[in-house]
Amino acid sequence: MEKRNVEKLNSPSDFMTTHLTGVTCASSSPALLTPSHFTVTSTPSLTSVTPICSAPSLPPHGADPRTLLTHTQPEVMQLHQENRRLLHTLHTQASHTPQREEVERLKEELRERDSIISRQCIEREDLCAELKQSTQKVQQMCEHHAAELSALTHTNSELKNTLHTLTQEITSLRHQVEEVTSERDVLKEQLSARSREKAEQAETLHKLRTYIGTHTRGEDQHTLIERLQKEKEALCLSVELLNVRVKSANDILTLQERELEEQCDPLRRDRSARLLSLWREKVFMLLVQLRSKDSQLHTENTQLHHTVSDLQQLVQKLQSHIALLQHNLQDKTAQLQLHNLHTQELQQQLCSAVEENERLKKHKESSEKSTEHLTDTVHRMSVCVGEWESQIEAAQCRMSALTQRLDFASIRLHTVHGLLMRREALWKVQQATKPAEPTASDSCIERLQLQVELLSLERDTLTQELKRTPQLINNALRDLQLQLDRSREELTVCELRCVEAHTHCEEQERTIVELRAEAHHTQTILQEKLSEVESVCAMQLKEMESHLNTARREHTKAVVALRQVERAAERERQQEREAERARSEHTHTHITQLHTQLKEKDRDRHILLAVVQQQGLMSEYKKVRRAAIHTSTALTDEQQHKQQQTGDTGQQEGSVLNVLCELRSLSSDLIHSTDEEDEDDELGQGEHTQKH
């Protein structure tokens, strides 16, 4: 028995057959089950069928439908042939009466067989259709699963992109809200600054009004001083003109006195003095009249100039006030335009915020839909993971069975090794007893060594495969667990982001409502302020128009009066010019006559002086001349005494007295100069006579 067992283990196939007797091979894996294994087919009982024709053997359930059809066609043909043969036998044996029962029984059997065949055909067709449907379903499920995986990855990427865009939009909306709040704060500050400026302007206006009310008297005094200074300057000019006139009159008087003194006799001195005094009085009256007319004209002109300057100043003030009010009105209109622009910007921002809110709502709805889709996909993935876990558990069961087989194989290897050792020991004993057969033992040993090496290689490969399979299974399980955890984390993150987006959208809606309320409030305030400013500006414009109309009327009146005065002054000037022209012509002719007379008188005087010097009458001439000077000085003293008595007259009489005093001083200077000239002439004539 031991030799037989050893001889059976000469090849590895014997070892594998002995191994497969107890346990199935480790490498052989069970085939996949088809959907037909899960469907219960009702197979009819074939006990009543006679052994004339055996029932057709059904093909395996997992075969292809085409192979099934090709396999069943010859059987169907065979059955039809048998039916025909049976019918023929029935027709041939119908004449025999004792076999009728047997024929009927055969007919019934034929009918049953036909029904069985038809049922089997129908079942086979159904099985083929089910196989096709199952294969299509499997393919569709695979395609659907792949499409779902691609859609899940695409939706995941889209969700990430949408979340990124939502975060960017949320940050941009936050920045916009911050900008709107900052602009609102700036506008509030500007409004407060404008209110402060208005209060300061009102205070300055009140102060200016009080200052103008308190300093009107000072301005009146200043204008009075300016008017007096102008009058003083005019008086100075008039005095200078009068001095010129007085000098010319003194020259005329001296010339006329000389003519009278030269022409009159010493006996007619009283008469000449009277004539001279009368002539002087007439000249004085004429000078006084001219001076009074000049002073009146000057005063009227100064008054008119003052009135015109006052009216011009008033018109300038009104124009400056009008310009200031126009600038204020332009400033107010610019402010209103700025407020309108700001309100338009706020409305645009509100519209954009509303659009952003609607867009965020749409994004939120899409994100909710995507989250629902993700939850569905995660649920499907969890179902798939459960299936994978069940498959992994089955694989683990298989692994445990394979480990048991491996243990059994290792035990068998140990037994084989013991048998080999025993065989080797027996061989050694046989070698010791039989030394004549060395070649057969060597060949057996080599063959056994080869078998041992092959067995060890197979054992190593089996152990490596058995070690590798749990690692692969664990890696697959770990990957699936990581994918499941990652998908759960992504789902939680998506839910959190959706919640945050929902809260942020609610906050944005609240801020939009607040901004709308604030914009409406600011718009109402601005409209109220605009109406107030418009009413105030309308009142100010009405007042300005009334002031402007009054100023224009006064200006036109002043212009008309000024033109009338200028026309009258022009007429008077023309009359004065004509009078002065006639006077100048008369004086020129008179001066030419006087020059000719003077030359003649000088010639006569020189002749008379020469005659007087020759006759020795120079002392008497000097006495007469001194007496005339004394009389003139006495007359001036009397006039001064009279002026002192009548010193409380007007300003014009004082100026005339001053003019007379200057005339007297000039006449005395002229007399002294004539005396000196006479003395020089006498000395010159004496020297001339001495030389002769």
User: Running DSSP on this structure, what letter comes out for residue 646?
Assistant: T
The pLDDT, as a whole number, for residue 2 is 38
Q: For residue 48, name the pLDDT band (cuts at 50, 70, 90).
A: very low
In this structure, what are the phi and psi dihedrals at residue 93, rounded to the nearest 5 degrees?
Answer: -95, 10
pLDDT of residue 25: 36
Please spell the DSSP secondary structure of 269-337, one letter per residue.
HHHHHHHHHHHHHHHHHHHHHHHHHHHHHHHHHHHHHHHHHHHHHHHHHHHHHHHHHHHHHHHHHHHHH
Predicted pLDDT at 612 = 60
* Residue 622: band (very low, low, confident or very high) from pLDDT cuts 50, 70, 90: low
Q: Of the segments 50-54, 312-316, 621-625, which one has the largest average pLDDT value?
A: 312-316
pLDDT on residue 264: 52
pLDDT at 547 over 50: yes
pLDDT average, residue stretch 339-352: 78
Residue percentage of the chain with pLDDT more than 90: 0
- Please write the tens of the pLDDT for every residue from 7-24: 333 443 444 433 333 333
Question: End-to-end alpha-carbon separation of the chain, Å?
Answer: 219
pLDDT of residue 263: 57
Query: What DSSP string describes 199-240?
Result: HHHHHHHHHHHHHHHHHHHHHHHHHHHHHHHHHHHHHHHHHH
Mind listing the pLDDT tens digit for each residue in 58-67? Answer: 444 444 445 5
The span from the CA of 692 to the CA of 482, in Å, is 165
CB 405 within 8 A of CB 23: yes
Task: Identify the band that residue 623 occupies on the pLDDT scale cut at 50, 70 and 90.
Answer: low
Given this model, what pLDDT does residue 134 score?
67
Mean pLDDT, residues 589-599: 77
Regarding predicted confidence, which is higher, 643 or 325? 325
Specify the higher pLDDT residue, 13 or 333.
333
pLDDT value of position 68: 52
Question: Which band of pLDDT confidence, cut at 50, 70 and 90, is reported for residue 51?
Answer: very low
Residue with tokens 């006679």: 50
Confidence check: pLDDT of 582 > 80: yes
DSSP 158-198: HHHHHHHHHHHHHHHHHHHHHHHHHHHHHHHHHHHHHHHHH
Contact 473, 392 (CB under 8 A): yes
Burial (CB < 10 A; 0-12, 13-18, 19+), residue 190, is: middle
pLDDT in tens, 204-220: 766 766 665 555 556 66
What's the chain's average pLDDT?
68
Most confidently predicted of 13-17, 42-46, 75-79, 474-478: 474-478
The residue written with tokens 């029904």 in the block is 115
Q: How far is CA 506 from the centre of its chain?
A: 26
Q: Which residues contact 340 (CB under 8 A, 6 or more apart)?
A: none
Decide: helix, strand or coil at residue 510: helix
Structure tokens at 370: 């995507």
Tally of CA atoms within 13 A in the half-sphere of 165 that contains its CB: 12
Decide which of 358 and 458 is more confident: 358
For the entire predicted model, the pTM comes to 0.28
User: Mutual orientation of helices 651-691 and 100-263 as an angle, nearest 10°?
Assistant: 50
Burial label, 449 (beta-carbon count in 10 A; 0-12, 13-18, 19+): exposed
The reported pLDDT for the residue numbered 198 is: 73
What's the CA gap between 639 and 177, in Å, rounded?
Answer: 103
Give residue-wise pLDDT tens across range 644-687: 555 544 444 454 455 455 555 555 554 555 555 556 555 555 55
d(CA 522, CA 635): 97
**Dist CA 373 CA 378 (whole Å):** 8
- Mean pLDDT (whole number) for 630-640: 62
Which pLDDT score, from 0 to 100, does residue 331 have?
78
The pLDDT value recorded for residue 24 is 37
* Model pLDDT for residues 111-128, shown as the tens digit of each residue: 777 777 777 777 767 776
Q: Which residues have C-beta within 8 Å of that of residue 141, sequence separation ≥ 6?
A: none
What average pLDDT does range 317-326 have in this prediction?
Answer: 79
> Among 593, 638, 628, 621, which Cα is nearest to 272's?
628
Residue 579: Cβ within 10 Å count = 11
CB 343 within 8 A of CB 566: no
Task: Tally Cβ neighbours within 10 Å of residue 663.
Answer: 20
Confidence of residue 624 (pLDDT cuts 50, 70, 90): low
Tell whether the torsion through CA atoms of 656, 659, 665 and 671 is positive or negative.
negative
